[in-house]
């Protein structure tokens, strides 16, 4: 089955540690996205990539970094510079203009 | 900043009721529109695309008014399982989708 996988589902880290969230898709989509969602809030775009080896900052990129070395993979690193990293992180992809955007199941990150 | 605005709700309606949500978008160049549904602590999933001519899928009807820049979603004969947050989305060219913050619906028995 085609889809987007994110791992792990729940992640706990100590304050000051960097952590990398995984996102893999086998939909052959060019574009991939990372969003953050806080309780009761909407989606906020962190980073996006429309093609391999290229990515752009979204609305809240500070304290995050990404890479896009392969079409299938778009990992997100939450660095220690991110002031309030505890949130629900969603990865998404789509196959082109005016097409549906698919989401992965998300990773809940808790920084202790 | 191109935005999509929605009434956050919550809309609390009895089973069987008809409920309508509107959202407005600020980017007049937006070309495609969607409604997504998000259940609590889950990822958003596409409910339906919104076409210029309007479209219907069972109990759900979506309409687009380009002149006034708003999109609507009508749910007829509400079910308990319709309880969720409904996200309005606009899209223009190769830019990322713009999501509204969502409207929360609670269908009550």
Q: Is the pLDDT of residue A10 over 70?
A: yes
Nearest to B70 by CA among B22, B108, B37: B22
Nearest to A109 by CA among A32, A21, A47: A21
**Residues of A with CB below 8 A from B89's CB?**
101
pLDDT of residue B93: 81
> Could you tell me if A73 lies within 8 Å of chain B, comparing CB atoms?
no
- A37-70 pLDDT, tens digit each: 998 889 999 999 999 999 999 999 999 999 999 9
φ, ψ of residue B60 in degrees (nearest 5): -110, 135
Q: Which residues pair with B13 in a beta bridge?
A: B107
Residues 6+ away with beta carbon under 8 Å from A91: A4, A6, A21, A23, A25, A32, A33, A34, A35, A74, A76, A103, A104, A106
Tens-level pLDDT at each residue, chain B (109 residues):
569 999 999 999 999 999 999 999 999 988 899 999 999 999 999 999 998 888 999 999 999 999 999 999 999 999 999 999 999 999 988 789 999 999 999 999 9
Nearest to B15 by CA among B66, B71, B97, B79: B79
What's the rounded Cα separation, in Å, for the pair A57 and B44? Answer: 22
- B96 and A48 within 8 Å at the Cβ level: the answer is yes
What's the rounded Cα separation, in Å, for the pair B15 and B76? Answer: 10
Mutation pick from A44, A97, A102 vs chain B, by most beta carbons of B within 10 Å, is A97
- A105 and B102 within 8 Å at the Cβ level: the answer is no
- B44 and A103 within 8 Å at the Cβ level: the answer is yes
Q: Which pLDDT band holds residue A1 (cuts at 50, 70, 90)?
A: low
| Coil/strand/helix, residue B14 | strand
Share of chain A above pLDDT 70, in %: 99
Q: Which helix (H) or strand (E) holds A110?
A: strand A107-111
Two structure tokens written together for A53: 């080896």
Two structure tokens written together for A19: 């952590």
B102 min Cα distance to partner chain A (Å): 7
Residue B9 contacts residue B75 (beta carbons within 8 Å): no
DSSP one-letter code for B83: -
- A82-100 pLDDT, tens digit each: 989 999 999 999 987 778 8
φ, ψ of residue B53 in degrees (nearest 5): -85, 0
């Amino acid at each position: 089955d085609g889809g987007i996988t994110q791992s792990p589902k729940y992640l706990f880290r100590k304050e000051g540690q960097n952590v990398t969230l995984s996102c893999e898709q086998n939909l052959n989509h060019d574009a991939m996205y990372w969003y953050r969602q806080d309780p009761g809030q909407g989606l906020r775009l962190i980073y996006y990539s429309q093609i391999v080896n290229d990515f752009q900052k979204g609305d809240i990129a500070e304290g995050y970094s990404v890479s896009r070395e392969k079409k299938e993979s778009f990992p997100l690193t939450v660095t220690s510079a991110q002031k309030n990293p505890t949130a629900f992180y969603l990865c998404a992809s789509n196959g082109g203009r005016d097409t549906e955007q698919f989401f992965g199941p998300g990773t809940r990150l808790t920084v202790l | 900043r191109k935005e999509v605005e929605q009434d956050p709700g919550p809309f609390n309606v009895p089973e069987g009721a008809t409920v309508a949500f509107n959202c407005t978008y600020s980017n007049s160049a937006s070309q495609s529109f969607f409604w997504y549904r998000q259940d609590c602590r889950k990822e958003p999933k596409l409910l339906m695309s919104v076409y210029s001519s309007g479209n219907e899928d069972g109990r759900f009807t979506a309409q687009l008014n380009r002149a006034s820049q708003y999109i609507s979603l009508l749910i007829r004969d509400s079910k308990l399982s319709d309880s969720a947050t409904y996200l309005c989305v606009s899209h223009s060219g190769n830019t990322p989708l713009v999501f509204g913050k969502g409207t929360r619906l609670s269908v009550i028995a």
